[in-house]
Chain A
Amino acid sequence: MTTLLDQRAVPLALRSRVVLVIASLAGLLMLCWPLLVQVPADGGGRTDPPFLFLLLLPLVIAVVIAEISEGGMDSRVLAILGVLSAINALMRLLSAGTAGVELVFFLLILSGRVFGAGFGFVLGVSSLFASALLTAGVGPWLPFQMMCAAWIGMGAGLLPRRVTGRWEIAMLAAYGVVAAYAFGLLMNLSGWPFLLGIAVPGHEGNLSYVAGAPLLDNLQTFAVYTLLTSTSSFDTGRAITTAIALVVLGPSVLTTLRRASRRAVVAVS
């Protein structure tokens, strides 16, 4: 019953799903590129971070958004999307100063759960874009953040529907913890070669990324890097705050969102 209603906020046709999958693959390739680079055996030539991706990723995101909203979105869904993006942006603004305390994901996960995967994806993109516009904080990192947040919103919409009540909150909180760590990991992975540089051939044993080294070696170096810089501090803080917010405020916010979604979606059909 609820499934039918909920999915209708932003319906995902089969074609949209295909586009989403291919675009996610492209996004994942661009995020995880350090682990994929293969250098010809004879070596030589320098490897530079592919700055091209900074332009490519926004285009991929634009295509997905255009495809999802193809055929027009309902104005109620649009208005709710705008309001939720604004709240998310505001929460990001308020929580930006305090280290590790990030509240962006909390509402994103709840909205994705209530309004479905398509809505969650679009909300992830629009929330981060809105907050970047509001603070004039558009930077090279923005496309990557948008993609990851979109995945988090979409994933929340894909969680099993049947779970309700306390178990639902527990499931969402667990998802929130996983999402917070995964977000940190993926953002670190995308920023690692940019921030630390790429190791020069023949000189190893620091934390830099080695282009073309065996996957396992790079993964190991990356694990140390991410553990030292953020997984044990920022990401843990983010995971804890997200989980606490979901447990404490989740039930009441879920009810509010469900009421809004019923009014927004039922009125149309």
Chain B
Amino acid sequence: MRSLPRDLHPVAWWLWAVGLAAAASLTTNPLILLMIIGVVGVVVAARRSDHPWAKSFRFYVWLGVAAVFLRVLFRVVLGGGYPGTVLLDLPEIPLPDVVQGISLLGPLTRESLLSGLYDGLRLAAIIICVGAANSLANPKRLLRSLPAALYELGTALVVAVTVLPQFTQSIQRVRAAQALRAGETGRVRRLRRYLVPVLEDTFERSLALAAGMDTRGYGRAGTATRAERRTTGALMIGGLCGVVVGVYALLDQTAPRILAGPMLAVGLLVALAGLVVSGRRVERTRYRPDRWRAPEIAVAALGLTAGVIGWWVNSEQIAIAYPDLSVMPQVSLAALVAVALGALAALVSPPPARSAR
């Protein structure tokens, strides 16, 4: 199936990445984690566009490398006394009493190194997954697909993103004007002389922009009735209360379990319902909305399925998900399938649109 080059819906890429990141967060198996990182890299290489944000992937990879490195370094410097096979017998340097029994270096064990490496890899995999979404999804179009309830925030952000180039203009104008004028030359004074006109200029522009937005019907109050507003409020407050109780029960493992998972899920659903209801008041059409077509659904479903399988491996195949530090980690068929599903995204998504040069 050859499809025409086009940009995939940004939300589809984010869902895919979140699914893979979830799968990565549920295991410390280095083989699975490395496979996930590899798959993400392949998909990014195959499907990223030539827009500026597409180049950010490299930065996330380096960040991931740094996370692994930091984790291992911390293990070496602070991890003395970890039980296991001693690899390197470093001298132990006790710190003064103020820092309660913490000592630097000390015998370095294989288990200590490995557990640092595994945990670091997990963090790196999550960071790299998010980085993949960053470089695959178009941020401007992502803003346009914010839920309707966040319409105001979306508008403000669109203003923010588009207004940036105007700053350079403002700054140039102010600089030119001040070069012609005598005045204070002290550092602080000059900065102040500089900042105030630039700020004034941008506010001037923003009010002009607001007037333009007014005539086009932005920022209008909704048409929600009192009863509707009350429903929204009840849903949001109820949902948030559920989330608070759920989070607390999740952390306090001595609390009844019914309060943890189920309560959290109910709270989440109610809060989401509140968002949907509050979004209904926004009656606006979108210019050329991004559509959900088969490839979008397929990419999102692949990522989320990988996440679900990752969760299953985490709860059913504990030895695979969290391998013992003393033996070679193994991989199960389910884990392989999850990773392979993630890689399929490169095949089902259309090639990115190349901008004309």
Contacts and interface: CB of A to CB of B under 8 A. Distances in A.
Interface stretch (B36-44, B74-82, B286-294): B74-82
A130 B196 contact: no
B72 to A, nearest CB: 11
A78 B164 contact: no
B297 interface: no
B119 A197 contact: yes
Nearest to B52: A136
B25 interface: yes
A187 to B, nearest CB: 15
B111 to A, nearest CB: 9
Interface stretch (A63-71, A155-163, A177-185, A235-243): A63-71
A55 B247 CA distance: 12
Interface stretch (B172-180, B212-220, B335-343, B348-356): B212-220
Interface in A53-79: 53, 55-56, 59-60, 62-63, 65-67, 69-79
A63 B275 contact: yes
Interface string A137-174: 11110000000000000000000000000000000000
Please tell me the size bucket of the interface on B: 35 or more
Pick the most buried of B22, B152, B164, B210: most chain A CB atoms within 10 A of its CB.
Answer: B152
Interface string B85-119: 00000000000000111110000000000011001
Majority DSSP secondary structure for residues of B touching A = helix
Given A36-B248, A78-B210, A195-B67, A69 B203 contact: no
Given A66-B150, A78-B218, A82-B206, A22 B237 contact: yes
Nearest to B143: A133
Contacts of B281: 70-72
A22 B244 contact: yes
B221 A136 contact: no
A74 B219 contact: yes
Nearest to A36: B251
Given A205-B81, A256-B199, A29 B101 contact: no
B164 A19 contact: no
A260 interface: yes
A126 B147 contact: no
A137 B56 contact: yes
B306 interface: no
Interface in B169-222: 188, 191-192, 195-196, 199-200, 202-203, 205-207, 209-211, 213-214, 218-222
A73 B149 CA distance: 12
B314 to A, nearest CB: 9
A93 B240 CA distance: 33
A67 B221 contact: no
B329 interface: no
A86 B278 contact: no
A78 B213 contact: yes
Contacts of B21: 51
A204 B224 CA distance: 57
Contacts of A220: 100
A69 B210 CA distance: 17
Given A56-B243, A135-B56, A85 B207 contact: no
Q: Which 3 residue pairs are nearest across A and B when measured between Cβ atoms?
A: A82-B159, A75-B219, A72-B221
13 contacts: A29-B248, A38-B254, A53-B247, A67-B232, A67-B236, A79-B156, A136-B135, A139-B127, A220-B100, A221-B102, A256-B203, A259-B203, A260-B203
Interface of B: 18, 21-22, 25-26, 53, 56, 60, 63, 67, 70-71, 74, 78-83, 99-103, 115-116, 119, 123, 126-127, 130-131, 133-135, 139, 142-143, 147, 149-153, 155-161, 163-164, 167, 188, 191-192, 195-196, 199-200, 202-203, 205-207, 209-211, 213-214, 218-222, 224, 229, 232-233, 236-237, 239-241, 243-244, 247-248, 250-255, 264, 268, 271-272, 274-275, 278-279, 281, 322
